[in-house]
Structure 1
């Protein structure tokens, strides 16, 4: 079965019918209170749908309030086409504990690099398939889930809305409620949030997510080609107030590519087969028959260099041209809704009024 088909099945099985990321918690205001953040978010959604988001950063944060969450839902309820586009075409996270919405738009370099990392890990899982051991059955059930949505409880409000994340990629065992391994590719805007993301994945899943990997491929200075990796796992700490589950960064910004673009002599990305599902499944299905999966610094460096070169060469690579005299005819379609200039003007006006 193809990877893309597996991802689609996971998405259909796990993603519940939703009203954006949060049900309205506050009745709509009868006044004319400006919803500055809500306006910016709706405008961004329309910009993306119109294909005019070229200069938009790959990581955009919006701090919300309950009333603005309600306003976003209200506006999406009035535009079913936009709601559908947001739900199925736009990648976004919602941190319910902090009322933080993040819209993700990774670049081509991020996606090409990540695809190679996924392939390297998946190939090692496939090499276990041929074994006549319990590891083989376990490994066959681990699928690439890419950005399949992860819904996590909000401990600050157990009866309220859940947090939602769409990671850069994840590996999900067929029998598990949560993925075992989550991988995030970091860049300047996202770097400072990796630790809090790791905390959310590991702690809010009650350690069912076993390992979080951060691959930082845009390291500060533009002239530097340095790239690093980090790995977080959970650990129980015994304190005077009882046992505490904490996320621990076991590998801290370890370089796999130096400033000149060469692979380092570090170990690289090291995972365990037992990372790919929760401890109960691991205990029942593979017992103590664990195995390491390693993506070397040389491989990681090559994957990243290949991705960068591919993107830089776009426009000069091989392609065919139509023969002279051949024209193209496309089926007629309903034109997409253009971003309303009046919407933009209104939100700018509201923002200025809010500042005053």
Structure 2
């Protein structure tokens, strides 16, 4: 009988323990639902995909995104490898003060900047050779050696940390700033994110923004960027009329209170007027192309050595760029084939960016609807990702599936959690 008695006495003891444990701990609150992207983010992402696919005109476009929305957009871009490649290596954009500007330069812009790059590189080499030939002191030879180390970085996107507004100083909380200059000249000691000199080309409707961008480059880089060279290619009033064009130069400076500022050295000086070149010379210096730490080791005379491009040359560059766009080459038919056919896209390619966006939006909408119906419902990220991956794999196998079915599939995959 003792075993039976033992079992009777043990059971209430375990039940009592089980009842007291839950009352000692409060219930855990449900996890927050996965945040959905704002409409502004989705619109920007859709526009980027259309640009990458080449289905819309390449023109400047502006989106108003908070820093959180901009970070969300970048996460969404990183999730699509092809779009990330376009965003990182091909697109030019600026993000500052909650404004994302996609910059789409035309053929005139591109041809002109390439000619300016080549002219500046040639002038750098000529100046280095002149310093070496002078052989006046060791500083001149050292300056020539440093000039030969300067390299062209193109339109690499720069990551800067600025302040929220012009009324705040550099001690304020830094804001996210991204800029894609048309060209940048770098030195190995400072890397590609802090080029001593950047080049920007704008048109008449962007002329006011050019000075603001120069100020941002120089001040937001804390004077790591020493010089900004800006060209304004203004449009003529009539179709076919040649443009007036001007050049501006901004340099890092210090005001009377010892605060670092951006100082305009040359502002809006015409190098072409009424279709004709203007007498003059664009004159930069050795100091404009070297980082502050390198320049500090050189003599004042070597740093002031001029690096020049004639206004006549700049006018020729612009005229040639305009001519290149005005007369597009006619397509030359192949001598062999008279009919042409593109290759058939693979199933993975058929999952186009537009369909991918519809899937993402369907997931967000279904998630929001499920949370609205049941506030205590908790999404489990890992399980959701596995089901979404399986669903997308099925879509790749059937590229002709109705988009309405895709939306329904996304909703079912989520509601089954």
So what's the TM-score if we normalise by structure 2?
0.66
Spell out, residue by residue over 1:87-111, the C-alpha distance to the aligned partner (whole angstroms, 9 max, x if none): 233222222xx12212121111101
Q: 1:93 to 1:28 in 2, by over 3 A?
A: farther
Name the counterpart of 1:284.
297
CA distance in 1 between partners of 2:52 and 2:237 (Å): 33
Name the counterpart of 1:257.
272
Spell out, residue by residue over 1:257-304, the C-alpha distance to the aligned partner (whole angstroms, 9 max, x if none): 11x210112x23211111002232112146531311111111010000
Q: 1:159 to 1:296 in 2, by over 3 A?
A: same
Name the counterpart of 2:334.
322
CA distance in 2 between partners of 1:234 and 1:31 (Å): 43
CA distance in 1 between partners of 2:294 and 2:90 (Å): 33
Higher relative contact order at CA 8 Å, sep ≥6: structure 1 or structure 2? 1
Name the counterpart of 1:53.
56
Alignment map for 1:189-200 (pairs within 5 Å)? 189-200=205-216
Q: Kindly indicate whether the alpha-carbon contact (under 8 Å) linking 1:28 and 1:71 is maintained by their aligned counterparts in 2.
A: no
CA distance in 1 between partners of 2:278 and 2:63 (Å): 37
Name the counterpart of 2:251.
233
CA distance in 2 between partners of 1:70 and 1:128 (Å): 44
Name the counterpart of 1:184.
200
Structure 1 residue 189 displacement after superposition: 4.4
**Structure richer in helix, relative to its length:** 2
Among 150, 160, 164, the alignment partner of 2:178 is 164
Alignment map for 1:136-175 (pairs within 5 Å)? 136-156=144-164, 162-175=176-189
Name the counterpart of 1:116.
115
Structure 1 residue 80 displacement after superposition: 4.0
So what's the TM-score if we normalise by structure 1?
0.76
User: What's the C-alpha RMSD, in Å, of the aligned pairs?
Assistant: 3.2
Query: Structure 1: where are the runs of 5+ without partners?
Result: 1-26, 351-356
Q: 1:268 to 1:284 in 2, by over 3 A?
A: same
SS in structure 2 of the partner of residue 153 of structure 1: strand
Q: 1:118 to 1:79 in 2, by over 3 A?
A: closer
CA distance in 1 between partners of 2:77 and 2:357 (Å): 18
Structure 1 residue 149 displacement after superposition: 2.3
SS in structure 1 of the partner of residue 219 of structure 2: helix
Among 37, 41, 52, the alignment partner of 2:40 is 37
Among 282, 294, 310, the alignment partner of 2:324 is 310
Structure of higher CA gyration radius:
2
Q: 1:295 to 1:150 in 2, by over 3 A?
A: same
Name the counterpart of 2:66.
65
Q: Kindly indicate whether the alpha-carbon contact (under 8 Å) linking 2:284 and 2:306 is maintained by their aligned counterparts in 1.
A: yes
CA distance in 2 between partners of 1:31 and 1:122 (Å): 49
CA distance in 2 between partners of 1:224 and 1:329 (Å): 41
CA distance in 2 between partners of 1:342 and 1:73 (Å): 14
Structure 1 residue 28 displacement after superposition: 9.2
Among 288, 291, 298, the alignment partner of 2:312 is 298
Q: Kindly indicate whether the alpha-carbon contact (under 8 Å) linking 1:211 and 1:232 is maintained by their aligned counterparts in 2.
A: yes
SS in structure 2 of the partner of residue 203 of structure 1: helix
CA distance in 2 between partners of 1:116 and 1:304 (Å): 9
Matched, 1:211 2:210: no
Query: Structure 2: where are the runs of 5+ without partners?
Result: 1-30, 134-140, 165-170, 366-417
SS in structure 2 of the partner of residue 44 of structure 1: helix
SS in structure 2 of the partner of residue 243 of structure 1: coil
Matched, 1:270 2:283: yes
CA distance in 2 between partners of 1:135 and 1:274 (Å): 9
